[in-house]
Structure 1
């Protein structure tokens, strides 16, 4: 599990460690980890040109001490000070190692180390920092802890900010490393472990071993009914493909049976494509909404009347009333969530974490907000972020497959939060396999789900 903590949590943990470690020990660990990450990017040290952009406080100190490590290995290290309060110990160490302070950017460096603003900084950058970054606009940046200018605890952006090739963070991930739009500015994130005594994290991201542990697997004496039955109410004469794709996601083998209970005419096409799918009957979970057009309200009401867990997607989202049963998973994209909350779409896209949490509280159930890094929020405030997937996954019908997949996991026995987050992870992993670096369509994602499961480590 990748866990992301808030600034207050990190500071409390650091204070506990600093109380027992020698002075400066924690910063030296961070600086050496940062220096080695820069070396990995450059490939070598001797004669390579490194520019440190240094602000006030410990963040700038990390950059200066790392610069000293690089200078001792033969790199040509220069520091541009963007504050009169640069870390004095770090500055002395850099000079002693042969690095130097410059008043402006001279010969273009090969890498820039962003030590402008630490985790306590406010979003946005001062003009002198913006000007310095503009002078090295085409040079890869290694960010210290976070790209300067992003909001650490929300993942939001508010003005100019660094866009890094690599971000080296210390002790733990922070929320902005996982949550967009800030996460998109982090590049590759490298974590330097500092053995901090950290509490439970408010934001986390499943990894393959977590998915393998959570995934329902059939017992030796399983039969189709004990493995769970999911019902699908999707599609319409206008959008038959939504039914086919929802059923494809549901019938990927993760539960025992799929029932189709949508439009009768569409049902013939569903069963022709998926002969294992049967008609209406008792289910342990419902998937409702995709492509239901003017049938959406009725299909939602029928699914709710059963009193079983359900996934609500697409057209049915316009008909949900609050509060919903806590076993419900809502799967909106930003436009759909904006309508549900009465907010502007741009506002949702600028602050997805805040809006996903607001929706989960408002509707009393799990909300999966689709995006580059999909968010799964529960009313208690816990959030999981999906980091699997490829840009090619932005294709028509992919959300229909996702809804069916989550419904199958609900029917198989996962709770709403786990079903949504495991389903989203598998959906992204399947897309990565199906894409193999190139374009794909939604049906290929559904077909690759079994391969994504087979690729999981053994539990």
Structure 2
């Protein structure tokens, strides 16, 4: 599992470690890792032209010491100083001693334009706001070169992933000691490029509880429910689906598809699209009455395509009154009674996209998209429910829990009609199998994104994603289900 820690936590860990090391040793560890990453990105160090964009403080010092190592290996290294009077003097002396040079303000633009690799050491993890004009101009001059960011792309917020102005867009980012939340969450994540973590020895000094987590294959495999020899369809989990309408029968079909392909032992469907559901999935158990009369379920999925009429409201109220976990999506979110959700004894999972989250929170969509971490946390706190905020980075927050889960899988091609209905079905099946809300939402998003990736970098359909879920499950567990 990737874990990410706040700036304050990382700095406290650095102070504790530095107290145990000779002066400057920690920076040398960082510089060694940074130089190796630069060499890997270049492929050939001797004769390569490297421009260092050097700000004040330790971030610039890391870049300068790394530049010195590259210069000793035959690279032509030029440092462009954005704050000459506050440049790290030890790093600057090391660079000059290794044969590197310092460009004047007039030469800086030319050095950047000629570079094969530009190293962004402008602003460290404590930076706030966008780039200043002189830095922004130099970054613009780097177009066409490889750009590697030191610890994080300058101009992004390390703690939240927010962007409040011009930033560096890196091809790769080398971060030290621990991931920072902003590196895992858009819009900052998209600017970081490929991530590389350099171990500088912070591990023993970091707390057990991070600010953000990203599951990996092994974590998902450990959480996935698997049938035992004595399992039957009821022990595996029965998920109830309230979705679709005369206008949107496809929403019901896709939610049921996600549930069936997501591991449910059985699916009960209660709604007006029963004919469409059974014609596509004859194994579905259908009911014409209210959800509470459909039969035993271990979890409910409600909302996709139900509309906003009185019948939809009654069905939502009926499901929320149950004593099993409930996932609410799409139209169900527009009808959602906050008090009823907070009063529930069983878990509730909400799965909004940015527009739906904005409506629930009473803010603009742009605000949610620019501050995904805080939006997910606020949703979880306000409703007392697990919140799965869909989007370019899917973020899962649970009430009373500091650490959010950030989904590392997926593809922009998932922005297609019906994909959210499939995700609801998958996550509902995991709730029915007994996973708690946070785990069901995190694992559901992971499998959903992995299934989409398996279809390649091309247009996909929601039904295609549902059919690829078995393959994603097999990839995670190391078994083939093809």
Counterpart of 1:164 (choices 145, 166, 170) is: 170
Counterpart of 2:37 in structure 1 is 37
Counterpart of 2:118 (choices 101, 106, 112) is: 112
- 1:225-248 CA-partner distances (Å, limit 9, x unpaired): 111100000000000000000000
Listed as ranges, the matches of 1:54-453 within 5 Å are 54-83=54-83, 84-103=85-104, 104-107=108-111, 108-196=114-202, 197-199=205-207, 200-263=209-272, 266-279=273-286, 280-293=294-307, 294=309, 295-323=311-339, 324=341, 325=344, 327-380=347-400, 381-433=402-454, 435-453=455-473
- 1:120-160 CA-partner distances (Å, limit 9, x unpaired): 11121122211211222332210000000111111101111
- Taking the aligned partners of 1:105 and 1:342, their CA distance within structure 2 comes to 45
Three-state SS of the structure 2 residue aligned to 1:105 is helix
8 Å contact from structure 2 (residues 262, 426) kept in 1: no
- Taking the aligned partners of 1:170 and 1:319, their CA distance within structure 2 comes to 45
8 Å contact from structure 1 (residues 289, 299) kept in 2: no
Tell me whether 72-81 or 220-229 shows the greater mean CA deviation: 220-229
1:254 Cα deviation after fit: 1.1
- Taking the aligned partners of 1:348 and 1:318, their CA distance within structure 2 comes to 17
Three-state SS of the structure 2 residue aligned to 1:112 is strand
8 Å contact from structure 1 (residues 246, 400) kept in 2: yes
- Taking the aligned partners of 2:141 and 2:24, their CA distance within structure 1 comes to 32
- 1:142-187 CA-partner distances (Å, limit 9, x unpaired): 0000000111111101111111110000001001111111111101
Counterpart of 2:2 in structure 1 is 2
Three-state SS of the structure 2 residue aligned to 1:226 is helix
- Taking the aligned partners of 1:316 and 1:322, their CA distance within structure 2 comes to 12
- 1:298-321 CA-partner distances (Å, limit 9, x unpaired): 221121122210110000101212
1:253 Cα deviation after fit: 5.0
Unaligned runs of 5+ in 1: none
- Taking the aligned partners of 2:314 and 2:229, their CA distance within structure 1 comes to 39
8 Å contact from structure 1 (residues 375, 386) kept in 2: yes
8 Å contact from structure 1 (residues 235, 242) kept in 2: yes
Q: Does 1:455 align with 2:463?
A: no
Three-state SS of the structure 2 residue aligned to 1:456 is helix
Tell me how many residue pairs correspond in the alignment.
456
Give the TM-score of the pair, scaled to structure 2: 0.93
8 Å contact from structure 2 (residues 262, 427) kept in 1: no
1:456 Cα deviation after fit: 1.2
| RMSD (Å), alpha carbons | 1.2
Three-state SS of the structure 1 residue aligned to 2:468 is helix
1:296 Cα deviation after fit: 2.8
- Taking the aligned partners of 1:123 and 1:221, their CA distance within structure 2 comes to 58
- Taking the aligned partners of 1:436 and 1:318, their CA distance within structure 2 comes to 33
Three-state SS of the structure 1 residue aligned to 2:9 is helix
8 Å contact from structure 1 (residues 76, 99) kept in 2: yes
8 Å contact from structure 1 (residues 321, 363) kept in 2: no
Unaligned runs of 5+ in 2: 287-293
8 Å contact from structure 1 (residues 338, 345) kept in 2: yes
8 Å contact from structure 2 (residues 116, 146) kept in 1: yes
1:221 Cα deviation after fit: 1.2
8 Å contact from structure 2 (residues 55, 87) kept in 1: yes
- 1:198-233 CA-partner distances (Å, limit 9, x unpaired): 111021111110000111111221111111100000
- 1:315-365 CA-partner distances (Å, limit 9, x unpaired): 010121224236111000000111111101111111111111111110110
- Taking the aligned partners of 1:268 and 1:220, their CA distance within structure 2 comes to 34
Tell me whether 321-330 or 220-229 shows the greater mean CA deviation: 321-330
- Taking the aligned partners of 2:476 and 2:271, their CA distance within structure 1 comes to 33
1:41 Cα deviation after fit: 1.1
1:26 Cα deviation after fit: 1.1
Please identify runs of 4+ aligned residues in structure 1 that moved more than 4 A.
none
